Each structure stands twice: as structure tokens, then as C-alpha cells.
Amino acid sequence: MRGNFILLLFMGALVPSVYCQDSDYPWAWDCRNEVVEANENATLEDRCVRVMKSENINATGINTCKLTCGPNGVLWPRPTSVELGKDVNFFIPDNIRIYTGVCPANVRILLDVAYQIFSDNIAHYTPDSITWNTTYTHEVNIAVQVTDNQEHLNYDTDESYTLRIISTEDDTAVTIHAETFFGARHGLETLSQLIDYDDEHETLQIVSDVVITDYPVFKHRGISLDTSRNYIGIPSIERTIDGMASNKLNILHWHITDSHSFPLEVKSRPKMMQYGAYSPSQVYRESEVAELIKYAQVRGVHILPEFDAPAHVGNGFQWGEEDGLGKLTVCVEQEPWQSVCVEPPCGQLNLANENMYDVLSDIYKDMVDMFQPMHVFHYGGDEVNLACWNETEEIIEWMEGKNSSRDADDYYREWSNFQERARELLVNASKEVDAESSVGEFGILWTSHLTEEDNVKKYLNPDEYIIQIWTDNKSNIIKEVLEAGFRVIFSNYDAWYLDCGFGAWVGAGPPNINWCSPYKGWQTVYDNSPHHIAKDLTGETHEDKIFGGEVAMWTEQTDEMALDSRLWPRSAAFGERMWSNPSESWRLAETRMVHQRKRLVQRGIHADRLQPEWCHQNEGLCYAYPAEDINPELTTSPSVTTDGGSNLATMFVLNVVAIMFIALN
């Protein structure tokens, strides 16, 4: 094998052991095709059954059973095609070797980092202190080959890979072939999920024979993260990227600024950050952004920046008048806020002030330069409040000077004029940074009044914009933009807004919950199928127009203390929907999902708990549905998909009524 060779080193491998297997532990697990009668359709696949070790000589440890049981073991997201062996080989970390085959030199540099990430992930499976059982001499030889020299992810990137494991008595040979680094990285992630610790032998174990061919269904598989409402530090963003890599998500849509704060360093306009940050320490420096982009790159994640405009601006722009540029924004922190915006503080760009475009141009130039290489940009563009402009004297005079009647259609026209000028500014900014840049040829806009049927065809070009849908899944806007020929990204709030289901943050609010309640359980996230939504509304799946989706984390009620548990493991459920687009509902994925949550915690992500540990050890026995109500196929629209909470509540009430009836009689 030509190429470089890497011996993986595991930190802590020589630390004296304080851990041993309890020989008196009575339980083991057996992979059986054993249906749970009351949960029949959800237990159609083989499952791990807890048994008495003394009575089942073929039973194994729980990790061995999980790795090899069922058609997919505990792989997440589910691969496109997988043949999974039923045996494992035991080995110690010192006996792992990785060889890089023929591949471009620039890719070797990325692969070296990816190998270390792989090594770190495996190390997380082991006890904190352990002395490895060196009597196990089985070798694991991993060969990785990449064809293309592509270093940066875009919508044309081939993320596919093949993975094969063949074992003999003495060694296990793993081969990963991919067109690009990103496919190879995904292959290494899958390989890390075919390995686990075995506490009986005090070794690692790997599935002995595997054949996988894998590729994503959707090209845009993202998390939208808001860092304006509440500041999120770089370590927490990195941890989010780690979680994304573990679930093969590839787009971090960074909603950096809003009316609340402007924490981003813009060197050409330093007062933006000075006036806009919550404090001098709660900022994102240009150098930090550059390092974050590199951190994401080797984990298969592209960072997509958003500068939301012409609404959702305010703090950060207050310096305009003192610098002789006039009011760059209007309605900033205006009271009462309800009349001119959707949430406090208010603010919109001042369309009547030409200096505003100069500042916008500088922001774009710095962002394009900072987020290199940028292949697509998010313009924001939602929740414009026409009343704000129509109550601002400077804009009223400007509109009247244009002989405008100042009705809604006139403001929509001026809004569209702004959007076209913004697009041109971004194109020019990208050409200054890179003459060959295609940034600005198409960008992303949120759904808004401008994307409604009467406006979208009049004001927006489907060749220039991707529309990100944040309505509910029944909205006619989805039908309108698809039939108008626009490419779309789904973030329908009724399934993929992860900030929903908590107490109101502006007043008590009826009934003391936030606007997009209820809470979206992982089951709702998993079953939300963009193709099904499109077909329900238009009669077609529009697979060529649906680029993918994003789960959204708006941070009015979230900061670093809650970020992980709000995102994970629900974003993992989203990850399987985006990668595999399964035809089945969440029920057949439940045991793998519970294990994936455990894996995320092992890797340092504070993912929310889904079930008691007993359920992880007793697959298929934690259910709330009568068997006749279970359909393993994903056949219904997500709007009627349930997490089980309402059914469980109904069953509880019925049980209470029955008990009361018995007591009274």
C-alpha cells in the first residue's frame, strides 16, 4: 500500500486500571427475532433481549449485541445500503493502523486531522482509566483512498463513500473509498460506530464483516444557530459542530446578528461591534471566525453566514448620525414595540438613506472575506413590518417624493428594490475578494410577504434565490414557491423549530407558552418529510427543487447552559431524515436513536435524556400504543404525527377513570 501510515495513540492507554468487569454480573444480551406482541409492528427487526448469562451460553455483552443486531446495528444515520456481520473481533488501540492510499497531497493534510478525530471518538468509548489486555494481538488495518482534491464543501460535493470490513483470525482489514475528503470523513464516522468497548474482555471490538455503500439524500442538512438574542461562545459552537459531524450534518447556518446585538467584528466598520455587542468580551473576532471555519471543515461542515435585512437590525447601527451618515436604521427600540415589529427590540434599515447602502456594502465585503470560501449567502429578509417604514417621517417624505401612494404594494416594491441592490452589492463584494467567485449568483431568503404568490413571481428570480420555508407544513406559500420554480430548504416551525414548547418570554402569554408551542419531540422531528409535505400540497415530491432542510435554534430562551440539550439528540433525528430519508416512521429507529444519544454523551455533548436506561437495555418494551395503532410506515403528513404524549395522557386518564370506577363499586 503506497502512502503514509499513522499509528493511532490513545490518551490514557498506560494509566493504571481502576476498572474491572464484575464476574458476578448476571445479565447478558441475545440478538433475537422475537416480536413483542403488544408492540408488534415496532419490533419487526431483530432486537437485543436481556437474558441470564448462566442460561444462555451464546449471549454477549450489551455493546456486542448492539453492534451486530438488526439490519443496521447502532449505525446513525442509517446507511443507504449495509450488510452487517454478526461477529466481532477484539483488539486494543495499539494495534490500529491507518494507511492513506493514493490521494491528493492537500487532502492528506485534512485526513491526518480526521484520523485524530476518529481516534478521539474511539477513546471516548473506554473507561477513564484502564490497562488494556495485551493478550489480544488482533490488528485492525484501515486504508483510506480519496480521488478528488476538493477541500471545501459546496452543493456539488460528492459526499458518498464505500466501506468494507473483512476479517481473518489475525487481523481486520478496513477499506474506505471516497471521491472527496468529505465522503472519506463520513466513512470514518461510520467506522467509529462499528467499534465499541467490551467490558468483559477489557478491549475494543469491531464488527468483523461489513459492506456499506452510502450517500446522502439531501445536499443541505443544517442547523440554524442564532447567536444574537443570546451570545453563544466559540467552545459551544465547536461542540455543536462536533454533534453535527457525529450525525453527518453539513451546514451550520449562523444567524450572527439581529436587532438585539451585533457581535461580529467588521474591520471596515468597527463601530458596528462596539455599539452592537452585549459586552466587549461577547464578540466574534475575525481570527476566531477563521479558526472556526477550519474546525468545521475537517468535520465535514460548511459555515453559512446570514446577515438578516432589511428587518432584524438595530443595535450596532446607532453611530450613524454622530459620524455624519444620518439614521442608518429606523424604529430602533421603539415603544410600544408591538406596533412596528414582532418582538423587542425593533429595528429596520432606513431605505431613504443612501449612506445605508455604503455601510451594507462594507459589511458584505468583510463577511465575504471572512467566510472564505463562501459558496452561498443568507440574506435573511423575513418579518419586515411595513408600519415601521410608514410611521417614519424621513421615509414618508422619501416615498412622497417618488409620488408613492404609500400602500402595501408600494412598500413591497421598495423592499424588492432593496433586495436587488443588496444582491448586487454582495456580488460585487465577492468579485473583489475572488474574481472567479460565484457568490451572489444565488442566495437564500426566508419566507415572507415578499415570497407570497402575488409578490414572489413579480419581485424574485428563481435562478437567484433559494427560499427557506419557516411556515407550518400546510402553508400555501410552500406550494407557491415550488410551483414558481424556486429551490427550497425546509425549516417548517411545526416540526423543526427546536426552541418551541417553553414558557412565554414576553409576558405570561396565553396559555403561558411561547408562540410556536408545543415542544417538538424527536419523533416529530424524525417524521417530518419534505417530500411528503410537497406531495401533499402539490401532488409532486419536487425532489429536484428541495435541497434539504435545517432545524432552527432561536435563542430568546437559550444560552450556553441549555444549548446542547435543546439541540441534541433531536438534531440527530433530523440528521437521519436528511441523510437517509427513511420510508418508515420513528418507531423502527427508536432503539438506534436511544443509543445514538448515549454515543453523543460519551463524546462530550450534553444531550437530553430520552428514556430510562432500562429501555436501552430492554429494546421494544417501552411503548405506549396498542399494537393495532402502530404503523411502521411513514404514511401520514407530519402535522398528524404524534410524539406519543397525547396518547400516553389519554391512556393515563382512562386508567384513572377505571380505577375510580372499580373503587366506587
DSSP one-letter string for 58-125: T-B-HHHHHHHSTTTTT-SSPPSEEEE-S-EEEE-GGGEEEEE-S--HHHHHHHHHHHHHHHHHHHTT
Q: How many CA atoms lie within 13 A of 94 on its CB side?
A: 10
Does position 360 have pLDDT exceeding 80, yes or no? Answer: yes
Beta bridge partners of 140: 96, 172
Q: How confident is the model at residue 652 (pLDDT cuts 50, 70, 90)?
A: very low
Does position 163 have pLDDT exceeding 60, yes or no? Answer: yes
Stretch 654-663: mean pLDDT, rounded?
A: 39
Confidence (pLDDT) at 130 = 86
268 in Cβ contact with 361 (< 8 Å): no
DSSP 3-state percent helix, strand, coil across the chain (nearest 5): 35, 20, 45
Q: Which residues contact 39 (CB under 8 A, 6 or more apart)?
A: 620, 621, 623, 625, 627, 630
Lowest mean per-residue pLDDT among 453-457, 493-497, 599-603, 657-661: 657-661
Confidence (pLDDT) at 5 = 57
Confidence (pLDDT) at 8 = 58
Read off the C-alpha cell for 73: 446495528
Which of the pair, 394 or 655, is modelled with greater confidence? 394
Confidence (pLDDT) at 39 = 80
Does position 659 have pLDDT exceeding 70, yes or no? Answer: no
**Cis amide prior to 71 (ω within 30 degrees):** no
Confidence (pLDDT) at 116 = 97
Does position 653 have pLDDT exceeding 90, yes or no? Answer: no
Q: How confident is the model at residue 43 (pLDDT cuts 50, 70, 90)?
A: confident
Q: How confident is the model at residue 625 (pLDDT cuts 50, 70, 90)?
A: low
- Percent of residues, the chain, with pLDDT higher than 90: 81
Stretch 234-248: mean pLDDT, rounded?
A: 98
Read off the C-alpha cell for 66: 448492539
What angle do helix axes 590-602 and 234-246 make, rounded to 10 degrees?
A: 140
Confidence (pLDDT) at 323 = 98
382 in Cβ contact with 470 (< 8 Å): yes
Between CA 150 and CA 224 the distance in angstroms is: 25
The residues that are catalytic are 383
Does position 279 have pLDDT exceeding 70, yes or no? Answer: yes
Between CA 234 and CA 283 the distance in angstroms is: 10
Between CA 274 and CA 25 the distance in angstroms is: 61
| Apex 518 CA angle, 513 and 522, nearest 5 | 140
Chain length of the chain: 665
Q: How many CA atoms lie within 13 A of 260 on its CB side?
A: 17
Per the listing, cell 485524530 goes with 116
The alpha-helical segments, DSSP class H, found in 279-339 are: 286-297
Stretch 574-598: mean pLDDT, rounded?
A: 96
Stretch 409-431: mean pLDDT, rounded?
A: 96
DSSP string, 458-510: HH--TTTEEEEE-S-TT-HHHHHHHHTT-EEEE--HHHHBTT-SS--SSSS-T
Q: How confident is the model at residue 35 (pLDDT cuts 50, 70, 90)?
A: confident
Closest CA to 363 of 444, 279, 443, 306: 306
Stretch 389-396: mean pLDDT, rounded?
A: 97
Stretch 638-655: mean pLDDT, rounded?
A: 43
In tens, the pLDDT along 327-338 reads 999 999 999 999
Does position 650 have pLDDT exceeding 70, yes or no? Answer: no
Reported as type and span, the H/E element at residue 650 is helix 645-664
244 in Cβ contact with 262 (< 8 Å): no
In tens, the pLDDT along 522-561 reads 999 999 999 999 999 999 999 999 999 999 999 999 999 9
Q: How confident is the model at residue 16 (pLDDT cuts 50, 70, 90)?
A: very low
Does position 648 have pLDDT exceeding 80, yes or no? Answer: no
φ/ψ of residue 162, rounded to 5: -120, 145
Closest CA to 164 of 139, 194, 138: 194
In tens, the pLDDT along 290-327 reads 999 999 999 999 999 999 999 999 999 999 999 999 99
Confidence (pLDDT) at 41 = 72
Between CA 576 and CA 566 the distance in angstroms is: 18
Between CA 232 and CA 255 the distance in angstroms is: 11
55 in Cβ contact with 26 (< 8 Å): no
Q: What is the dihedral of CA 560, 565, 569, 570, to 10 degrees?
A: -90
DSSP string, 203-214: EEEEES-EEEEE
* Average pLDDT along the chain: 91
In tens, the pLDDT along 54-113 reads 998 889 999 999 999 999 999 999 999 999 999 999 999 999 999 999 899 999 999 999
Pairing of strands 251-255, 220-226: parallel
Stretch 171-197: mean pLDDT, rounded?
A: 98
Confidence (pLDDT) at 15 = 30
Pairing of strands 443-446, 378-380: parallel
344 in Cβ contact with 333 (< 8 Å): yes
Which of the pair, 198 or 453, is modelled with greater confidence? 198
φ/ψ of residue 42, rounded to 5: -95, -5
Between CA 457 and CA 444 the distance in angstroms is: 16
Query: Is residue 174 helix, strand or coil?
Result: strand
Stretch 263-268: mean pLDDT, rounded?
A: 98
Which of the pair, 649 or 431, is modelled with greater confidence? 431
Q: How confident is the model at residue 518 (pLDDT cuts 50, 70, 90)?
A: very high
